[in-house]
């Protein structure tokens, strides 16, 4: 017999909407407030060039093979040379990108949201644990 445990908080999947104009994408996330249950929208403007760079990296991957988002992060770090701009070594930057002070500045606008946009366009499958598969 299976036992179910109810956890207070979000009871559904996050829904993301993607819009675009000539130069940018707009990613709209729906997030449920933990205590009030109210669903709020957060909007993020992502330059199309950020998505194009990620797509160029993905286009080099073999179709229907899986890579991790850390693989793409490493490629982006080498492309943009962020660690040099921040004056730290590449490995320290990689760790900080994933859970440190560079997460908001680099991870979300250059990796996470571009991946969500490419997923919305059905160019990739972006699954749990950072798994990315090129579909087209």
- Read off the DSSP letter of residue 33: -
Domain boundaries, the chain: 16-46, 47-134
Q: pLDDT for 5-27, tens place per residue?
A: 554 554 555 678 999 999 999 99
**What digits encode the pLDDT tens for the residues 15-58?**
789 999 999 999 998 887 778 878 888 899 999 999 999 999 99
Q: At what angle do helices 90-99 and 69-80 cross, to 10 degrees?
A: 130
Residues 6+ apart with CB under 8 A from 51: 25, 114, 117, 118
Q: What is the pLDDT of residues 68-94, one digit of tens each?
A: 999 999 999 999 999 999 999 999 999
Rounded (5°) CA angle 23-113-77:
95
């Amino acid at each position: 017999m299976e036992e179910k445990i109810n956890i207070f908080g979000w009871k559904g999947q996050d829904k993301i909407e993607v819009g675009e104009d000539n130069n940018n994408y707009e990613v709209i996330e729906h997030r449920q407030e933990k205590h009030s249950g109210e669903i709020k929208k957060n909007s993020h403007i992502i330059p199309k060039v950020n998505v194009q760079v990620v797509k160029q990296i993905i286009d080099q991957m073999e179709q229907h093979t899986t890579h991790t988002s850390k693989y793409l992060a490493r490629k982006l770090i080498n492309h943009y040379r962020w660690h040099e701009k921040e004056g730290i070594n590449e490995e320290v930057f990689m760790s900080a990108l994933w859970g440190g002070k560079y997460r908001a500045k680099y991870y979300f606008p250059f990796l996470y949201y571009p991946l969500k946009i490419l997923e919305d366009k059905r160019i990739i499958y972006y699954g749990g644990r950072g798994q990315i598969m090129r579909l087209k």
